[in-house]
């Protein structure tokens, strides 16, 4: 569901200095200035998703990344979810 071209592109996460992680993405090609994205992540299927507390923003104030601290990833796996909306309408996953 959601308008074509509103999904994020080029999602990347990088862990550095052992416990810090930066995740970034590009805004969808047809995303308007009022589109807002939200990032959640977890390290196992059993735990609850944790939301980003420190977003990186573009000139329009849209979230284009997140800075995480005190990151620990067990079993070399992580699960990420990005969702969002624009004018109360869903964006593409």
Cα separation, 66 vs 31, whole angstroms? 19
Q: How far apart are CA 86 and CA 17, in angstroms?
A: 35
| pLDDT bucket at 89, cuts 50 / 70 / 90 | confident
Contact 66, 15 (CB under 8 A): no
Mean pLDDT of 21-46: 92
The mean pLDDT value for 5-29 works out to: 92
| Predicted structure pTM score | 0.86
| Fold annotation for 9-83 | Immunoglobulin-like (2.60.40)
């Amino acid at each position: 569901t959601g308008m074509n071209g509103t999904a994020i592109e080029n999602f990347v996460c990088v862990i550095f200095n052992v416990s810090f992680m930066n995740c970034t993405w590009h805004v969808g090609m047809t995303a308007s200035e009022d589109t807002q994205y939200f990032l959640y992540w977890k390290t196992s299927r059993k735990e609850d998703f944790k939301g980003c507390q420190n977003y990186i923003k573009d000139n329009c104030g849209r979230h284009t990344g997140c800075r995480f601290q005190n990151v620990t990833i067990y079993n070399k796996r992580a699960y990420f979810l990005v969702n969002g909306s624009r004018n109360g309408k869903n964006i593409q996953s």
